[in-house]
Amino acid sequence: MRVGVVTFPGSNCDCDTLEAFEFLDVPTKHLWYADTDLTDVDAVVLPGGFSYGDYLRSGALAAKAPMMTAIRDAIQGRDLPVLGICNGFQILTEAGLLPGALRANRHGQFRCAWQTLRVTNESPLFLGLSEGELLRLPIAHAEGSYYAPAGTLADLFMSREVWLQYVDDRGDLNTLTNPNGSLANIAGITRGNVAALMPHPERALEKAFGSEDGRRLLMAWLRGLQERSAHAS
């Protein structure tokens, strides 16, 4: 199994993400935004950063890149698993591969802080993360306020596609622990084989970094990949 990590102009977490998977002993491949070849990767990660300097809207220009056309075709053609982290989440919504949008933080500030998250729904994309489990991960964004129309939001909860929410240290939802004004404290969603979250798991691999929960999350995603690959074969 090989994981590809895409670099867009302005990406700044691509090397961290490549190193995170290498730390987990997973073969990786660096993918360039202008390329279209995905034949030798089994999954793709869209990393954090400021693609195209967040010009127009975060992720808006990156969503039009040749690599994103190839990713869209691979999702439709072979159900390619894709994980978006922070700017990757923004790109996936701008590309229409996930519902909703990421808007400017309600308080108008760039927010960089540790955040407690709750696994809202178990997902086959993340094997081993149980509903109600708490994770401690860092966030770093200025446009992370998740928005979707009321009907879409209701459908996301009904279909159990909301999988991460911002909570307090006890796991309770409240406005005080919502760092950006996201509707329903949403921090991550899934659809099909596509998943995304605003926090940065690649920055939380070891206790020395402040938390090992990023390793738990990425390992859960890798287990999900392996399980689907085993069933496919």
- 88: which 2 tokens? 């990757």
Say which residues have a Cβ less than 8 Å from residue 86's Cβ, sequence separation at least 6.
Answer: 13, 47, 48, 49, 139, 140, 141, 144, 197, 198, 199, 200
Report the C-alpha gap between 203 and 19 in whole angstroms.
10
Give kind and range of the element (H or E) at residue 15.
helix 14-23
Any catalytic annotation for residue 202? yes
- Please state, as a whole number, how many other Cβ atoms lie within 10 Å of the Cβ of residue 146: 28
- Residue bearing tokens 């700017």: 87
Catalytic residue selected from 13, 141, 143, 200? 200
Catalytic residue selected from 13, 30, 202, 227? 202
Catalytic residue selected from 86, 94, 141, 161? 86
Catalytic residues: 86, 200, 202
